[in-house]
């Protein structure tokens, strides 16, 4: 009896080994491995369900304060210099300004700002005396002018300096005065208010001189 039981047990073990070798796909070990692999690797065509972490300080969208455009300043800043005085902005007149006893005679030319705005004027006007001998250009005196801003209704002046004819002859008769404001091309013709004639002279010194704006009375001798 004991010998028969041992034989039956041995036969059962052999049969079990034979079945295990033929049915390896159904073994618990392989099933467990497949299950573990399936849970750790996503199927083809699928994406991870966990959200992708964005880097800190993402600049897509509005720029940071450091990237803002630099300040360009305000247009039309303060302290803008007024436009220069044009001929049509001015009422120009001339008058005798000689002080009694002076050898050098003076004519004062007034330039009045008749416009409704401020304007700037600087330097020397163009001056020609119209005479019986043709135009006599005035020479500029060696004087400086820092410029003037004329408010509406405000005047400035410059002087014309000349020698009167005291020779007893007819001299050079003056028939008119042409004035062109500084940096302008348009002129005005005025009546000459000074002595009626200038002396005829061969002197190299100019017979007529002018000063810059604001020079009336300067340098009289």
Same domain (yes/no): 130, 199: yes
Q: Do both 110 and 205 map to the same domain?
A: yes
Going by the DSSP 8-state scheme, the letter that residue 87 receives in this structure is: G
The residue that leads in pLDDT, 149 or 34, is 149
Residue 29 sits in the same domain as residue 134: no
> Between these two residues, 14 and 126, which has the higher pLDDT value?
126
Residue 121 has pLDDT above 80, yes or no: yes
Say which CATH number the domain at 185 has.
2.60.40.10
Highest mean pLDDT: which of 9-13, 44-48, 170-174, 192-196? 192-196
Q: How many CB atoms lie within 10 A of CB 154?
A: 13
Domain identity same for 101 and 189: yes
SS3 at position 209: strand
Of residues 34 and 167, which shows the higher confidence score?
167
| pLDDT of residue 49 exceeding 50 | no
91, 87, 127, 85: which is closest to 211 by C-alpha?
127
**pLDDT digits 0-9 by tens, 80-119:** 889 999 999 999 999 999 987 778 899 999 999 999 999 9
Are 32 and 92 found together in one domain? no
74 vs 136: which has the higher pLDDT: 136
Q: Give 152 or 55, the one with higher predicted confidence.
A: 152
Residue 74's pLDDT is 30
Mean pLDDT within 126-140: 93
Per residue in 139-196, pLDDT tens?
999 998 889 999 999 999 999 999 888 776 778 899 999 999 999 999 999 999 999 9
**Domain range spanning residue 104?**
87-210
Cβ atoms within 10 Å of 193's Cβ, excluding its own:
17
Range list of β-strands (E), 58-154? 90-96, 104-113, 119-121, 126-131, 134-137, 139-140, 148-150
Helix, strand, coil % in the chain, rounded to nearest 5: 20, 30, 50
Query: Among 104, 112, 177, which Cα is nearest to 151's?
Result: 112
Q: What is the mean pLDDT of the chain?
A: 72
Asked if residue 26 and residue 97 are part of one domain, the reply reads no
Structure tokens at 190: 């005025």
User: Does 80 fall in a domain?
Assistant: no
Q: Assess whether pLDDT exceeds 70 at residue 199.
A: yes
């Amino acid at each position: 009896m004991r010998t028969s039981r041992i034989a039956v047990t041995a036969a059962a073990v052999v049969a079990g080994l034979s079945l295990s070798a033929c049915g390896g796909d159904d073994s618990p070990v392989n099933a467990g491995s497949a299950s573990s692999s399936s849970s750790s690797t996503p199927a083809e065509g699928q994406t991870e369900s966990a959200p992708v972490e964005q880097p800190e300080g993402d600049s897509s969208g509005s720029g940071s304060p450091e990237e803002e455009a630099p300040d360009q300043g305000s247009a039309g800043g303060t302290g803008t210099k007024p436009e220069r005085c044009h001929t049509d902005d001015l009422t120009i007149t001339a008058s005798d300004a000689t002080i009694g006893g002076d050898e050098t005679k003076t004519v004062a030319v007034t330039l009045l700002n008749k416009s409704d705005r401020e304007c700037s004027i600087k330097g020397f006007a163009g001056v020609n005396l119209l005479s019986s001998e043709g135009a006599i250009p005035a020479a500029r005196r060696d004087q400086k002018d820092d410029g003037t801003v004329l408010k509406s209704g405000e005047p400035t002046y410059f002087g014309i300096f000349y020698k009167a004819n005291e020779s007893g002859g007819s001299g050079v008769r003056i028939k008119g005065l042409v004035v062109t404001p500084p940096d302008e091309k348009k002129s005005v013709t005025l009546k000459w208010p000074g002595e009626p004639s200038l002396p005829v002279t061969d002197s190299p010194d100019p017979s007529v001189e002018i000063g810059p704006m604001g020079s009336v009375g300067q340098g009289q001798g």
